[in-house]
Amino acid sequence: MEETILAAEGEVERLQALVEEPEVMEDHERLQEAYSELHATQQRVESLYARWEELEAKRLEAT
């Protein structure tokens, strides 16, 4: 789970850098696509953290 989260966070960082590139900022369609992908990836990271917390809580209950 931790590796999956780290990979998703890496993708967020990549997309954040992409939306800051001058070439992307000048292309409205490309910028919109990049922001959409960034938003979806950020939501995925939040979802992964929530799931990790659920799994940790279950693990702690079982011990």
Q: List the end-to-end C-alpha distance of the chain, in Å, as a whole number.
A: 20
State the pLDDT confidence band at 56, using cuts at 50, 70 and 90.
very high
Give 33's Cβ-side CA count (13 Å radius).
Answer: 6
For residues 8-35, average pLDDT: 97
pTM: 0.87
State the pLDDT confidence band at 63, using cuts at 50, 70 and 90.
confident
CB 4 within 8 A of CB 50: no
Single out the residue of 39, 37, 53, 58 nearest to residue 1, CA to CA: 53
CB 34 within 8 A of CB 20: no
Integer Cα distance of 41 and 10 in angstroms: 10
